[in-house]
Amino acid sequence: SIFFLCRSKMNEVRITPWALRRMLNWIKMRYNNPPVIVTENGWGELKETDGSDLDDPMRVYYYKYYINNVLKGLGTKPIRYI
């Protein structure tokens, strides 16, 4: 399995988008595919007062790959998202 170890200004974060899909698939199989709401998923950074936090490629990367893995869960036997 591949993960990315990135350091945000908040803490050390492992970016593992495949793990979200794996967990959702586990919930689907274990609990007979209940509807699932994904909350509190994000990339933490401290807000800068000089506006330099507006260029935030790591946040774009983070959401791109996490959303992509959620969408992969909508394959032939989709996970039920709300």
User: What's the pLDDT score for residue 1?
Assistant: 42
Query: Which H helix or E strand runs over 12?
Result: strand 12-15
Task: Note the pTM of the prediction, 2 decimals.
Answer: 0.67
Report the distance separating Cα 33 and Cα 25, nearest Å: 8
Where the chain has pLDDT below 70, the residues are: 1-13, 40-41, 44-54, 76-79, 81-82
Kindly report the number of other CB atoms within 10 A of residue 24's CB atom. 19
- State the distance between the two ends of the chain, measured CA to CA, in whole angstroms: 28
Report the distance separating Cα 58 and Cα 76, nearest Å: 31
Residue 6's φ and ψ, nearest 5 degrees, are -125, 150
